[in-house]
Structure 1
Amino acid sequence: MTTANAIDEAIRAAGVLSSVGTRERYRPLLQAVRSFLADKQVLYVHCSLPSPNIGQRTWLHDEERSGGFALEWGQHAVDYVRFMTGEDIVTAQAFYVRPEGYDFSLTSSFNFLLTNGGVMSLSFVNYRAEGAVQAGRRSEPLFGIYYLGGRIDVYREGKDRWSYEHNGTPVIDGEVLTRGWPRTAPLSKPCARATAARCSTTITTG
């Protein structure tokens, strides 16, 4: 913490903006969702990250040192939701599941109360299934945001490919970071090239 505090003091003294570990919020896709939700009443946000296996064991599985995956990726999830919805966290509740024989948690679940009275749930699930194929991100959104009158689904496919839908209709399909800069792939059906303008208008005007 000594080093972190020294960096923080230097940044404050210089009067500059600094963002560490939360760069994804600057994606045009997430900013588009934020703009759309600006005048909406968010009721419920869901974020789920299931995984069939833990992969190679790293420092991340040492919860005393890292705080575990829930802290490592959970802080990103909370940051994205706060950014997209414009709401903050009022109250939090956490649950961890550590089966006998494991020295780290396989599953964790969090409930949050938002400033507008809406709620959010965040879950990390590792079900230790050898040979299982993880469900595609197209079948389960990373974020499901339900507002009074509709819903937004945000998908993360692979490492850098992001998409989102409004009430089941693709709006941005395949925003990819290339050498640090985002680009957007053509929209897929049913929001194909011929109807891209109509879909964009729908999401912009609500």
Structure 2
Amino acid sequence: MGRPVRVAVMGLGQRGLQHLKSLWSLRDEGVVQIVGLADAFVENLAPGKIAQYVPDYAPEGIATDASVHVVMRDAAPDALFVAIPPGVHAGEVVAAAEAGVHLMVEKPMSLFLDEAVDMERAIEDSGAIATAGFQQRYSPRNEAVRDFLADKRVVMVNVVHNGALENHSIKHTPTDRLDGPRNRVWTASMEWSGASVVEAGIHQVDLMRYWCGDIEWVEANYAHRDASDIEDGGDNPYAYRVAYGFEGGAIGSLIMSRLRKAYYNDGYQGITWTHGHVKFEGRDAVAYYYEGPYPPEQRPSAEQLRHVLPAAAGEDPTTGLARAFVEAVATGSDAGLRSTFAGSMNSLSAVLGANISDHLGGERVYLADLTRADRYAQFRRRPGPAAA
């Protein structure tokens, strides 16, 4: 690798600070130079605040401004990390791509498919290298599952996640000053997050795709929150049941809940192929299957069927994502990325399509139709004057 890749970060909230921390470690290795930071709320750019989340942070030589356009002009980055709430994009990704800046865009890339398509088109037209913030693909355990399933026919994948609404953390965007949630927990708000399936469930959906391939259709039904149970704008549904059909023939389900006053989380992930199952047990991915003369003389025990999948040692997945992206920029090739921006559009369509399906009474929505069918046009565009 030649000179360090010049990187700027837009959005110094929870996720942006995590990205900056990873980039700072790559800076210490000499592969990255942090040249600019942008945040619409200048208090988030205070060195003392950043240093609370990024040890050894030093502001010298780093351009900072409320406007990412000013930072791109003054700092001339090679690459930009965009980590802002998904509903507040205002053309920054398109502008960066048109300026020849490579992009890492935090998920979900937008709450509006038309806007995301505009981003995708600008990236493609510019030739920019771009990825989305699906760091879980860089987990050695998840990679081990993908490798194990590579020569198998997956027929089903199921994810269950029960969560407490109170688990949502206070964010750094002052939504209380933007007619949003007074407690700044925008991830609990339907308007700001697009629903828990979109803001959080997109990670599980993207892992399904990592293991099983692209999604063809979605059907969904939600149990919406009672008006009397909404506090501080936290109106995301109680529960979600989402069914997916994969292009390769597998079926899948994502079941989520976000309850108030429960204070309990649990979950389950399971992948089924034609002759066995993969489960997650603690830190291990475990495959259950029989190998031996068939039929066996007696029923095998669970221990005889249990195979822990070997996973290589690896770094923090967020750092793994940053490293892969920076190397892609440095080499001019996206071959080492585990998802490109264009490829990530299937994950975004799958969760936004779930919202549409629920709105339409649970009807099956084919993702290929979402970006072009007239009947979905009202769901694709940003509402209000901003859509003009």
Matched, 1:151 2:289: no
Normalised by the length of structure 2, the TM-score is 0.39
72-81 vs 169-178, which moves further: 169-178
> Which residue pairs with 2:319 in the alignment?
180
Contact 1:163 1:174 in 2 (8 A): no
Q: 1:88 aligns with which of 214, 223, 233?
A: 214
50-59 vs 32-41, which moves further: 50-59
Q: Cα offset for 1:125?
A: 1.0
Q: 2:257 aligns with which of 112, 119, 125?
A: 125
Amino acid at match of 1:134: N
Amino acid at match of 2:255: S
Contact 1:165 1:172 in 2 (8 A): no
> Which residue pairs with 1:201 in the alignment?
none
Q: In structure 1, what is the Cα distance between the partners aligned to 2:310 and 2:145?
A: 10
Question: Are the structure 2 counterparts of residues 175 and 123 from structure 1 closer, same or farther at C-alpha, using a change threshold of 3 Å?
Answer: farther
**Matches for 1:1-206 after TM superposition, within 5 Å:** 1=89, 2-9=91-98, 10=100, 11=102, 12=123, 15=127, 17-55=129-167, 58-85=185-212, 87-100=213-226, 101=228, 102=230, 103-130=235-262, 132-135=263-266, 140-141=267-268, 143-154=269-280, 162-167=283-288, 168-172=306-310, 177-178=315-316, 180=319
> Which residue pairs with 2:384 in the alignment?
none
Q: Where does structure 1 lack aligned partners over 5 or more consecutive residues?
A: 182-206
Amino acid at match of 2:95: A
Q: Cα offset for 1:37?
A: 0.8
Q: In structure 1, what is the Cα distance between the partners aligned to 2:264 and 2:187?
A: 22
Normalised by the length of structure 1, the TM-score is 0.69
More strand by share: 1
* Runs of 4+ deviating beyond 6 Å: 173-176
Identity rate, percent: 23
Q: In structure 2, what is the Cα distance between the partners aligned to 1:31 and 1:44?
A: 18
Contact 1:163 1:175 in 2 (8 A): no
Q: Cα offset for 1:25?
A: 0.5
> Which residue pairs with 1:202 in the alignment?
none
More helix by share: 2
Question: Are the structure 2 counterparts of residues 176 and 51 from structure 1 closer, same or farther at C-alpha, using a change threshold of 3 Å?
Answer: farther
Could you list the per-position Cα deviations for residues 46-70 of structure 1 after superposition, in whole angstroms to 9, with x for gaps in the alignment? 0111024433560111211211221
Question: Are the structure 2 counterparts of residues 114 and 75 from structure 1 closer, same or farther at C-alpha, using a change threshold of 3 Å?
Answer: same
Contact 1:34 1:84 in 2 (8 A): yes
Point out the structure with max Rg over C-alpha: 2
Q: In structure 1, what is the Cα distance between the partners aligned to 2:256 and 2:166?
A: 11
Q: Where does structure 2 lack aligned partners over 5 or more consecutive residues?
A: 1-88, 103-122, 169-182, 289-305, 321-388
Question: Are the structure 2 counterparts of residues 8 and 154 from structure 1 closer, same or farther at C-alpha, using a change threshold of 3 Å?
Answer: farther
Q: In structure 2, what is the Cα distance between the partners aligned to 1:15 and 1:125?
A: 40
Aligned length: 170
Contact 2:279 2:286 in 1 (8 A): yes
Question: Are the structure 2 counterparts of residues 177 and 154 from structure 1 closer, same or farther at C-alpha, using a change threshold of 3 Å?
Answer: farther
Amino acid at match of 1:180: T
Q: Cα offset for 1:180?
A: 3.4
Amino acid at match of 1:105: P
Could you list the per-position Cα deviations for residues 9-28 of structure 1 after superposition, in whole angstroms to 9, with x for gaps in the alignment? 43346745332211220222
Q: In structure 1, what is the Cα distance between the partners aligned to 2:279 and 2:315?
A: 20
65-74 vs 49-58, which moves further: 49-58
Q: Cα offset for 1:111?
A: 0.5
